[in-house]
Structure formats: C-alpha cells, structure tokens
Amino acid sequence: MADVRYDVLVIGAGPAGIAAAISAARAGARVMLLDMQAEPGGQIWRGQWCTRSDHAAKVWMDMLEQVPVECCFGARLVAVPDPHAVLVDCADGARTLRFARAVIATGARELHLPFPGWSLPGVFGAGGLQALVKNGWPVAGKRVLVAGSGPLLLAVADSLRNAGAHVLAIAEQASHLAQARFAPALLQAPRKLGQALGYGMRLRGIPRYANAWVERADGVGRVHRVTVNIADRHRVFDVDCLAVGYGLVPNLEVAAAFGCDLRDGAVRVDARQTTSVAHVYCAGEGTGIGGVDQALAQGEIAGYAAAGHSELAGAAPARRRAAQRFGAALARTFALRPQLRTLAADDTVLCRCEDVPYGAARACATQREAKLHTRLGMGHCQGRVCGAACGFLFDWNAPASVRLPLAPIALGHLDFSTRTTDDAVLQPRPHLPTRH
C-alpha cells in the first residue's frame, strides 16, 4: 500500500469535484475522490446523496455511481507535505495519499460582516442555517428574518419555508435598479430563469425589500429584535432567528498549501483549469464565484485535462463561457454597498475566536499587523470568517500563504511512530457511501 498512487486526486466532492472525478475516470485515469463531509454533494446538493430529489443532483450522482472512482469521505486535507502527497485527517488518524495530478474543488464559504449583535445566539449565516435545516435542525414555527445579499437568500428562504419556518421578510442590500438590470442575464439562462420564477411563486406572500440591510440585532441571551434599514427608514422585526449572509468567498487554503498563485481573491487558472503549479488544477467556486453550472463545466474540463485528455471536454468550454457571463452579472448586481463597512461599532467583536473588537483591528494597517498586535485570525477558524470580513471592511489582502495544518488536528493523529508503513497510507474505501 505504501506505493498507492492515483493518477488523479480530486479534493472536494461538490458539483465541481463530482464532474472532475467522472471525467477523469471516463478518460481512463485511476481516480480518488476525497471530501471531509460524509457524503458527496457539496453545499448545493447537501443531503441529496440519499434523496436524489433534485434532478441535476440525481443525474450527476447516478453518473458517479457508474464510474470506477475510489472514494474517501469524512477525510479532510490538512497539509501538503510534498507536491505529490497530501496529509488527510480521518476519524481514526491522519494518513498520506500519493498522486500524480490533483484537482482542487474545495468550493466557497459565506461572507459574514459584523454589526452590533451579530454574535448573539440565534443569529446564523444564511447558508449555515440552510445547511443545519437540510441536516434536520428543526425550525418549524420559528420566526426567521433572511437578510444580506445575493440569490442564495432566496434558496435559503425557500428551504426554511419548506421546513415550516415563518419567514418574516427577505432583506436584500442591492437596489431595485441593480436587480432590474440583472434581468437580461436571467433571460439568457433559461434554467436560472425557471429557478427564479419558481422561487417567486413559492415565496409569494413573503415581503421582499431591496436597499435593505441589518443594522443591529438585540436581545438578552439570544436575538429577539433585528433593526433593518430599508431605504433609510428603520424597521424593527421581532424574531426567533436571523439568517444573514453577504454572498460567497472562495475557499483558498488548499490551493495556497499547494503554492498556487491567487489573483483577486481566487485561484488563477488557464483555459484547461491548470493553476500556476503544473500538475494541479482547480475547478468550481475556488476560481471565482459563478454558481453550480460554472462548477460543473469547469469540473469536467479539469477532470479531462488532469487525465491527459483535454480533447474529450466537448461542449464544456462553451457552457463554462455562458456560466462565466452569468457569474459576472451576478457580481455586478450584488456588489456590496459601502454603508456595510460602517455598521460595526468599535466594541463590536470582529474576530470571534480571539475576541478582537472592530476598533482594535481598525487601528492596524494590514492583516499581518492586526494578527501580530491583536491575535486577529489566530484562533480555531484560522481567520476563515474574520479574514474575509477584513478584506471587505479594510481592503486588506488575505495572506497568500497558509499555516499548516489547515485545520485543527488531534496530536495523536500525527503520531506515526507506532504505525506500520501500510497504516500510514490512506486505505481508500472502494465504494461510495451507502444510501439509506
């Protein structure tokens, strides 16, 4: 087992990773698909492995079952000890995995911006609350306000409503005019248009405000009231929960650990999805936020390229171009307004792991200085939340390098002294997770 070596390692089993694994396997490569979650699906298809209630999820997951892909779920990549090996943390210890080429498909996370009261219990990231609900967290009968920016708010409101929550309103910071200008992009993407009309139908009766953003959340022990600025008027909502998110930012840690070049907060890739590291490819939200169609098209291109058969990518480049145009229109429409930079007070906590207030960070010139002087970004999440917030609030560039391990890992998991060579190498599960 010590020589286990895959032709293609795919890191992340969301839409981009699933498409990459299928393409690489179809091109004849020996493929390993890895994800820290227990099942494939990523963010958008969370829970779909068993239900397959979403048409696209069903199509891609059925295809995944039909190709010879080896898999490891519940396995988080935590370090890149050499260019052709990764260290993976599993429930029973850390293991090394060797490969010739890698496709990074590690997706995105939400952008959270601080405002007074944002750390009260009952205040959730919008996508975070949706993920909890998809995993069975009960919200039936709860009064929830959905706020922030971007089309994810509609998906979140829809999931909450489906689960029996009382969605009070959706507060979108973008203006009516900006959203109206988005219409031509929607008309050119019939599937997205259908999705938007579907949300419109299912969410009818729920008030939707434009030019609206949360100014503060108040409550004793948990959130009870949320003050929303709606076109410069203040309106207070009595709530049980607030779901708030300001769009997505790429997960860059794995790409940075491989030493890939980053540009404008995303991994720089060429037409074949190759990064600046010749044997490493990147697909999906890591290359810039573009949605599921972009992730699938890029995944296909990257999978074939990593397997040495770019010519098999067929129509995927054309689909990628269309998805990129749509992604660019999304970015223009939901660009964040400058007022959101001014919501936090000096004593509003900014780095929740290390309890660093906004005022202390504001006194620093760079993220590195803030780290050295205040410990901002040095806690459990390693700056995954506050780092992106500082990027928006202060225009700070995120550090291009990362500190290893990428996530906290039990010291015992790193103790290789008692293991045989076989033990120290990841034993892949040849099968996908069982469906119940």
Please, what is the minimum distance in Å from the beta carbon of residue 418 to ligand FAD?
Answer: 25
Stretch that binds ligand FAD, among 40-48, 305-313, 397-405, 419-427 (CB under 6 A): 40-48
Please, what is the minimum distance in Å from the beta carbon of residue 76 to ligand FAD?
Answer: 4
The Cα–Cα gap between 331 and 324 comes to 10
| b/e code 383-407 from CB counts within 10 Å (16+ = b) | bbbbbbbbbbbeebebeeebeebbb
Determine, following the binding rule CB under 6 A, whether residue 105 of this chain makes contact with ligand FAD.
Answer: yes
Stretch that binds ligand FAD, among 64-72, 91-99, 104-112, 199-207 (CB under 6 A): 104-112
Number of residues that bind ligand FAD (CB under 6 A): 36
The Cα–Cα gap between 197 and 219 comes to 36
DSSP secondary structure letter of residue 74 = S
Q: Which of 54, 67, 61 is nearest to 24 (CA)?
A: 67
What is the enclosing helix (H) or strand (E) of 158? Answer: helix 152-162
74-103 positions binding ligand FAD, by CB under 6 A: 76-77
Who contacts 325 (Cβ-Cβ below 8 Å, separation ≥6)?
Answer: 185, 188
Pick one of 7, 70, 110, 300: the residue that binds ligand FAD (CB under 6 A): 110
Stretch that binds ligand FAD, among 11-19, 114-122, 168-176, 260-268 (CB under 6 A): 11-19
Binding mask 292-331 for ligand FAD (x = CB under 6 A): x--x------------------------------------
Binding mask 225-264 for ligand FAD (x = CB under 6 A): -----------------------x--x--x----------
The DSSP result for 261-293, as a single string, is -EETTEE---TT-B-SSTTEEE-SGGGS---HH
Determine, following the binding rule CB under 6 A, whether residue 37 of this chain makes contact with ligand FAD.
Answer: yes
Determine, following the binding rule CB under 6 A, whether residue 387 of this chain makes contact with ligand FAD.
Answer: no
Asked if 121 and 129 count as a contact pair (C-beta separation under 8 A), the reply is no
The Cα–Cα gap between 313 and 424 comes to 36
Determine, following the binding rule CB under 6 A, whether residue 108 of this chain makes contact with ligand FAD.
Answer: yes
Asked if 253 and 59 count as a contact pair (C-beta separation under 8 A), the reply is no
Chain residues binding ligand FAD by CB under 6 A are: 11-17, 34-37, 42-44, 76-77, 105-110, 127, 130-131, 152, 155, 248, 251, 254, 284-285, 291-292, 295, 406
